[in-house]
Structure 1
Amino acid sequence: MVAEYITLDRLATQLSEIKHQHFSGHVVLKSSSGQEWCLYVYLGRILYATGGSHPIRRWVRNSTLAGVDVSIAEDLQARIDGLTNISALTLAELNSCWEYYLLVNWAKQGRISRNALIKQIQTTIVEVLFDIVQAASVSYEQVAREQLSPQLTLIDIDRAFGIAIQQQQQWQQVGLTDILPDRSIKIAAVKEFQQIVSPAAYQALRFVLDGHHSIREIAAKARKSPVVIGQSFRSHLLSGTLSLVDLPDFPSPVARSKYPHGTKPPLIMCIDDSPFVCDRLEQIFREQGYQFISVMDSLKAIPLAISKKPQLIFLDLVMPNANGYEICSRLRKIGAFQDTPIVILTGNDGVIDRVRAKVVGATDFITKPVQSELVTEIAQKYLNPVLAT
């Protein structure tokens, strides 16, 4: 059966009818390019929304903005496994709504405030609707299925759709019609870009304009709207100085694990005062299925390492308060870390630094900027040789 695609005006009418009919269930929407979204509806109002190209990245980003540090939370996979016991959910149910049930669990534990919870759900719903609007036409299906429970908050469907329409219009007005905010930006012409921006701006931007941060993620870090970020880089994209890159989503925490049942993936720690380096390593290793934790305060590094017991440590050489040499030397004096691989990160690939790093007990030494292939090889080399095959 060939899918019938409807226009935005028709979609707005359908959503209004849902509201007036007090419909409960799922609304499944698909674009001609293969994107799929799901709206969870209760009595004509939206409970939650998910889908699109980056559902996991969206959840991580919006959870962080809501004040929940998912990068140093307990292993997400273990949390999801726990939900199957707590809520008696099937794997099929978790595949579609694990985000919502994790929020329910956080609310019960007091890990997220009521206001932050509502804001996260509202932000997520509007973002999903924005992507649906950006698709211009979608197929539409109402499915009368059991609704999510409990109902954390109920969002007016007309109002949320109206906000998404306004945001999409702003996106078009500044000339971003053909740019998807889930795509990343990469410096395509380094020399030309260095001539345009100041040296300080270039040093800051090269970490986010590396093809590994979506426009939405850059906006979240800068505490600005995606429209502002997109508009600021538009001229450089048109000139070819910057280019757009497709960005994969993080792996789903309910996907089949490559580790045996009942075992956890190795934990990797990054000790670096640069949030860009920590974020980059987190993206790389979470995509590989590892657990990851970062600490940017060198004074907290050793207590956190003792608490979390990582199996591999990436350690920046130059940091305020305590440098990498000092931290490495102190870790090696602790019995639990005598054999833990410690990889020094540095922007200066000097012979003296390499020798000194070996003297204090470093296992390996790599230079910045972080290269995905290299750090992945490092992890495979020192953690699980099976992953290298």
Structure 2
Amino acid sequence: MAATMSGKISNKLNVADLLSQHANAKKDGCLVVSNGAINWFFYLEESQLVYATYSADPLDLLDNHLRRLSRQVPSLNSEVRTQVRINFNDDSSDQICPDYQAISWLVRTNQLKPAEAATLVEGIVIEILESYLLVSEGTFKFLPKSAHLPVYAKQTIPPLVQKCQKRLNAWQALGPMVWSPHQRLYFAEQSPGAAKLSPSKVQQLQKILRGFSFRHLGVLLNLDELQLAQNLNSLIVDKVILLQDPQPPFNQLPRLAVGAVNSTSQASGAQSDSDAALGSIGSSEIGQKSYTIACVDDSPAILNTINRYLQDQNVSVVMISDPVKALIQIMRAKPDLILLDVGMPWVDGYELCRLIRKNSQFKKIPVVMVTGNTGLIDRAKAKVAGATDYLTKPFTQADLQKMVFRHLT
């Protein structure tokens, strides 16, 4: 695909103007903007925006929006969302991004109506534009249309930019502690502010504030992430809630240009706002259901690490070190999620996954391959064996918790 136009972005070239200029040129294709770490993709047709995405885990982006939409479209259940990740995890196509391919597949297989796909697209576009408008320097190129792109929504760019800029201003008004929707929230139980909370509020915060980002937490609580951040901001300022940096690759997205905290507006209604957020937490199912995770690995050190990482996460970890006996132990445990090491003696992870899938009670249970290999051959082998996902070694606690969030919440 040849680029018809390319260039550099500097402070003299506003990224919103750049997008509008390419739309006004009335050329169908894809504007690709890069800040060196992340690529943004804007698909244009007849001067309007058809879709937008970025390279920072687009399937995670899609999964979050499918979760939101599943409240109105119950058929978008965990099994369907898992199938999306299996089918479109290979983003080797240079013409249509994997998340848009997945949306088209959902429509073709009658799991989404075109109108529902339009709603999905509109929500994703807003999220992408919010991050894009923070880009201050980088490069861009325009790729002419060379593949058929099913169209579910066409949006005029200026109103979208205005809406996103208004949201960005609201994010920036939260103050210097909040600089990304992907920051992760933790409850500081020993903080002086926490001591002032009632026991019921402490219990509510303990349930949910375990490293979910504003974005993920908003999905779980069915709240807009900006509204959630506004509601919890008084607790953030009081250091009852601690914020940690986003997980990769979201830590490479541009940061908000934060401003000073408006203490007057913050104090007014802060208690009722945080009470509203706590009420959402209390009424949610998160933290109320306990899950069982079976981990199969011939390394006791890895098993102990997984067990330690998942402490206080409302999960029970069944550690299995003998792959030969693993199938029987898994059948006894009836887990909600299975983690399989690939490189085990006697029976490797691929073979064990095939054996698990032959049992009817485990047809729909997520199976995650834990591997040090991320090549296409290993992904293909995992897919053929029936694996749902893969976790690459070495992994962090945040990596493991994200995997659990993806498949069990």
- Asked if Structure 1 and Structure 2 have the same fold, meaning a TM-score greater than 0.5 normalized by the shorter chain, the answer is yes
Please show how residues 115-194 of structure 1 align to structure 2 within 5 Å: 115-175=115-175, 178-190=178-190, 192=192, 194=194
- 8 Å CA contact retained: 1:104, 1:152: no
What residue in structure 2 maps to residue 17 of structure 1?
21
Tell whether 2:67 aligns with 1:64: yes
Distance 2:42 2:291 in 1: 31
- 8 Å CA contact retained: 2:186, 2:209: yes
**1:298-335 Cα shifts (integer Å, max 9, x gaps):** xxxxxxxxxxx9896347xxxxxxxxxxxxxxxxxxx9
Tell whether 2:83 aligns with 1:80: no
Distance 1:147 1:22 in 2: 17
**1:179-221 Cα shifts (integer Å, max 9, x gaps):** 100121112344545424332232222232111x110122233
Distance 2:195 2:48 in 1: 51
Please show how residues 1-389 of structure 1 align to structure 2 within 5 Å: 4-7=8-11, 10-31=14-35, 34-51=37-54, 53-67=56-70, 69-73=76-80, 75-80=83-88, 91-93=92-94, 97-175=97-175, 178-190=178-190, 192=192, 194-211=194-211, 213-248=212-247, 274-276=285-287, 313-314=334-335
Three-state SS of the structure 1 residue aligned to 2:30 is strand
> C-alpha displacement at 1:63, in angstroms?
0.8
Three-state SS of the structure 2 residue aligned to 1:140 is strand
- 8 Å CA contact retained: 1:26, 1:142: yes
Distance 2:216 2:292 in 1: 15
Change (3 A) 1:159 1:9: farther
Distance 1:156 1:109 in 2: 29
- Which range is displaced more, 120-129 or 232-241? 232-241
Distance 2:135 2:17 in 1: 17
Distance 1:30 1:100 in 2: 19
**1:118-156 Cα shifts (integer Å, max 9, x gaps):** 111011011101011234445332222425522222222
Question: Unaligned regions of 5+ residues in structure 1, if any?
Answer: 85-89, 251-272, 286-308, 316-334, 338-371, 380-389
Change (3 A) 1:312 1:97: farther
> C-alpha displacement at 1:9, in angstroms?
6.4
Change (3 A) 1:198 1:54: farther
**1:261-284 Cα shifts (integer Å, max 9, x gaps):** xxxxxxxxxxxx9434769989x9
**1:49-102 Cα shifts (integer Å, max 9, x gaps):** 111545332211101112253522253454338xx9xxxxx83348x6111111
Distance 2:195 2:130 in 1: 35
**Identity percentage over the alignment?**
13
TM-score by length of 1: 0.57
Change (3 A) 1:24 1:155: same
Change (3 A) 1:114 1:197: farther
Q: How many residues align?
A: 268
> C-alpha displacement at 1:244, in angstroms?
1.7
Question: Unaligned regions of 5+ residues in structure 2, if any?
Answer: 1-6, 250-283, 297-329, 337-358, 362-395, 404-409
Three-state SS of the structure 2 residue aligned to 1:28 is strand
- 8 Å CA contact retained: 1:29, 1:138: yes
Distance 1:248 1:148 in 2: 34
Change (3 A) 1:178 1:160: same
Distance 1:311 1:28 in 2: 51
TM-score by length of 2: 0.55
Distance 2:19 2:181 in 1: 24
Distance 1:313 1:175 in 2: 46
Distance 1:222 1:8 in 2: 40
2:49 counterpart letter in structure 1: I
- 8 Å CA contact retained: 2:27, 2:46: yes
- 8 Å CA contact retained: 2:67, 2:219: no
> C-alpha displacement at 1:241, in angstroms?
3.1
Distance 2:290 2:168 in 1: 28
> C-alpha displacement at 1:249, in angstroms?
6.2
2:67 counterpart letter in structure 1: T
